[in-house]
Amino acid sequence: MTRSVPLARRNLFQDPRRAALAVAGVAVSLVLVLVLDGVFAGAVRQVTAYLRNVPADLIVSQQGVRTMHMSASALPDGSIERVRGISGVAWVEGIRFTTATVRAGAGRQLSYVIGYDTDTGRGGPSSVANGASPGPGQAVIDEVAADELGIGVGDKIRVLGRPFTVSGLSEGGTSITNTTTFIRNADFAEVRGPSLSYLLLGTEPGVKVTGVARRLEREISDVTVQSKEEFVEQEGLIMKDMSADIMQIMSIIAFAIALAVVALTLFTATLSKLREYAVVKALGAPSSRLARTLLVQATWSVMLALILAVALSFAAAALVAAITPNVLLRIETVAIARVAVAALVVGTLGALVPLRRIVRLDPASAFQT
């Protein structure tokens, strides 16, 4: 395409201060959306960190239970033996799970408490930064929670109503909502009874995971079988269900602010140039061409705002990570793409009001003084 005079760009940047204010105004609104989305994505990432790191191919839970978060699962007695007997299953590990409060002195943290077999280590912390796996009467807590509770290895905590000594500090187990504490399966069973909550299982090499899952479902009717990926997805969905309304409201407010800024900026900019638009019309520009100019102007505004917003959001993510390690602000590409599309829609809507003025503009008004 051959170059034409970039009227939209020239108009937009003729007054750099006004352009900067408009772009900044829209950018702030988009930052709000991106940060909200980032907090949510970070929280999902953190909440599912344990599941993503367990070595299992399949996870078996009580029938109808598909998540850990906001759920309680108790498997029927003998489940582990029945699962072990299914063809293609290489190993099975039972874990116990509940949500409880970890107390240390006056401090308290809401925590997933996971009982696991410390001999195999399956279902335990993916990495212990300091100290060792828990022995009898011992617990591994996440280093971020330990820091917030002001405790370290060797200190005492209370979990499930009884004291434990911290044997080690794990990594990556604290989220915006809770932390993770690991104890021995036997200690968990002593307090909460013998029922297992979930079974983690690995399949034999070369065996199709989906095939094993189907066999499990066919032969053991009173459990729910999901691949690790499905379980992680379900965990993300329950997080989304819990926060969808507030996220949606906040996003709508942010986009409404962006829309108002774009519309107001374009409207005032158009009003201040009505005479010039009339001249262009008088010279022979059809309304469609002027409409295109306005839309290009709106697109420039929101795209520059988006670039600024993405940069500011990444900066905010880095800042948040430095200040509060238990909050993960995760700016995902899909969120940027979603915001970009929404921003374009906002830009287009923002251009509609001035567009109406331009379409109705009388070219003969170019002759009026």
Partner 1 sequence: MTPTPPALIARNLTKIYGEGDLLVTAVHDVDLEVARGEVVLIMGPSGSGKTTLLSMLGGMLRPTSGTVVVDDVDLTTTRERDLPRLRVHKLGFVFQDFNLLSALSALENVELALNLANVTGADATRRARDLLERFGLGERLDFVPGNLSGGEKQRVAIARSLANDPAVVLADEPTANLDSKIGHEIAQLLRQLAIEEQRSIVLVSHDPRLKEVADRVLWLEDGTFKDLARMTTDPVCGMAVAQQDGPHFQFDGTTWWFCASSCRDEFADDAQRFAERARATA
- Positions touching partner 1 (CB under 8 A) are 2-5, 7, 10-11, 13-14, 275-276, 279-286, 289, 362-364, 366-369
- Neighbour count for residue 364 (Cβ, 10 Å): 10
Looking at beta carbons only, is 345 or 367 nearer to partner 1?
Answer: 367
CB of 269 to partner 1, least distance (A): 10
* Pick from 69, 75, 26, 56: nearest CA to 307: 26
CB of 4 to partner 1, least distance (A): 4
Looking at beta carbons only, is 106 or 360 nearer to partner 1?
Answer: 360
Virtual torsion, Cα 36, 49, 206, 219, nearest 10 deg: -90
Instruction: Give the separation between CA 191 and CA 136, rounded to whole angstroms.
Output: 13
Looking at beta carbons only, is 205 or 284 nearer to partner 1?
Answer: 284
Residue type, 203: T
Residues whose CB is less than 8 angstroms from the CB of residue 133 and which lie 6 or more positions away in sequence, other chains included:
118, 121, 124, 125, 140, 167, 168, 182
Looking at beta carbons only, is 86 or 355 nearer to partner 1?
Answer: 355
Instruction: Give the separation between CA 365 and CA 285, rounded to whole angstroms.
Output: 14
Looking at beta carbons only, is 283 or 334 nearer to partner 1?
Answer: 283
Instruction: Give the separation between CA 31 and CA 257, rounded to whole angstroms.
Output: 12
Using CB atoms within 10 Å of the CB of residue 299, give its burial: 0 to 12 exposed, 13 to 18 middle, 19+ buried.
middle
CB of 293 to partner 1, least distance (A): 11
Looking at beta carbons only, is 19 or 144 nearer to partner 1?
Answer: 19
CB of 3 to partner 1, least distance (A): 5
CB of 319 to partner 1, least distance (A): 38
CB of 265 to partner 1, least distance (A): 15
CB of 267 to partner 1, least distance (A): 17
CA atoms 271, 273, 275, 278: torsion sign: negative
- Contacts within 8 Å (CB) and 24+ apart, 242-248: 242/70, 243/40, 243/43, 247/36, 247/37, 247/40
- Neighbour count for residue 162 (Cβ, 10 Å): 11
Looking at beta carbons only, is 138 or 293 nearer to partner 1?
Answer: 293
